[in-house]
Amino acid sequence: MKFVFVIGFFLLATAVHAQNALKQKKQQTSFFYTQVNIHGGYIHDINGGRFDITNRAPKNQVAFQLFSLNKRRLQKGYVRTLSLSSSKLRYSIPFDRTVNSSGQREANFRLQMLDTWLKFDTKWDRTTLWIGNKSIPYGHNPRLDPVSSFMTNMIKMDIGFVQDLGLFIKTPLSDKLDLELSITSGGMLNKPILVCDNLIKNEAQTIDPKFSFSNYAYNNTWLVTSHIGRPTYQKNELGLNIVSGRINNTLIPNDLIFINRIGGDWIHKFQEKLKWSNQLTVGYSNSDAEGSLGSLHYQTSLELFLGKHFFFSTSYAFNFHQSMSSELYHFNYINAQSLTYSFSPHTRLRLNHYHAGILEAGEKRWGILLQLVVGFGKRP
């Protein structure tokens, strides 16, 4: 009897343990994440040299992100035609302090919308749809060390913004070619939602700090971007960029400009340790203020993973615009380097250097900056 009792007790304990082992925790579907960016150092520009906070991106800021997975989509496990898979809501509060052309200091806080979109999966293989504010498929962002990267994006230099509000599609054309397409508003949301300025009193300023909301009036702007290239998992990526739109002129206020661009890119990767990218785009622009201009845009960048915690990045980019009816031209360039020490996936310390210039204005700028990025919370 003792033997039977021991065996029975053992079988009961085994069954209870097995049932407990089969129990699983509910899958997390909401992720809240906060990121703090502190960035400053020695800056030299048209106002001379000084120690100050950064006057170029990434700005000093606090960013908040809420990422959600569709619970029903996870439970269902398949897509009949079109199904919401995830959503993202990301805002930042950047602090900007500069010295204006009169030598007076200015400072402001802003509330800025960043990635805010709905993502839909489809029944077609590798075909995804986004609706909202998202990075447009023109130019390449850093991939080895993308967390608040210091590296330049060619699109920012060309059209003035990297994200836009609209419709985004990624789908394969064949086993060896992918298509990324976006139809967007042409920079309608390329401004802060709320601004608090007049934070520094000086001789030219007598009013107190004030809050103001941006005017999001639509000015018939639009932008269509497309990229056809090899899938991102390939060792060598070759791609073709085509861009067309009507956007605000980044050089002259209250002026709209038509742009057309075509170009190619090549990316070489060695495992997760090296990425070398090259981009060349030619184009045509037309505006009421400046007339017709031909354009040339180029960027080369190299990213290296050094050892266990170090990343090194360097890039050079320029934009050149030449009038087709006069001697008017615009040429601006930037050369940047960044050395990163990664304490963890959430915490990074960077030493950044840049040298930039606007040739026609005879303006040169350079700086050596220290950047600290710290994140709190969870990401998917």
Categorise residue 302: left if φ over 0, alpha if ψ from -120 to 50, beta otherwise. beta
CA distance 82 to 70: 13
Pairing assessment for the beta strands 194-197 and 274-287 based on DSSP bridges: unpaired
What pLDDT was estimated at residue 14?
46
To the nearest 10°, the Cα dihedral for 143, 145, 146, 148?
A: -160
Q: How much is the pTM?
A: 0.86
Q: What was the pLDDT predicted at 101?
A: 64
Question: Structure tokens of 299?
Answer: 């960027």
DSSP strands (E only) in 100-254: 105-122, 128-135, 163-172, 178-184, 194-197, 210-213, 222-229, 236-248
The token duo for 40 is 């400053």
pLDDT at residue 207, as a whole number: 65
Say what the pLDDT of residue 107 is.
Answer: 86
Given a contact cutoff of 8 angstroms between Cβ atoms, the answer to whether 241 and 226 are in contact is: yes
Q: Which helix (H) or strand (E) holds 88?
A: strand 82-99
pLDDT score, position 303: 95
Residue 144 CA to chain centroid, in angstroms?
14
Measured distance CA(150)–CA(13) in Å, rounded: 58
Query: Does residue 320 contact residue 280 with C-beta atoms inside 8 Å?
Result: no
Rounded to whole angstroms, what are the CA distances from 278 to 19, 29, 264? 56, 38, 8
| Whether 310 contacts 339, CB under 8 Å | yes
Residues of the chain below pLDDT 70:
1-25, 100-103, 201-207
Q: Is 344 exposed, middle or buried (0-12, 13-18, 19+ CB in 10 A)?
A: exposed
CA distance 121 to 81: 8
| Residue 7, Ramachandran bin (φ over 0: left; ψ between -120 and 50: alpha; else beta) | alpha
Query: Cα(257)–Cα(249) distance, rounded to whole angstroms?
Result: 5
Residue 2: per-residue pLDDT:
46
Q: The domain at 41-51+126-377 falls in which architecture?
A: Beta Barrel (2.40)
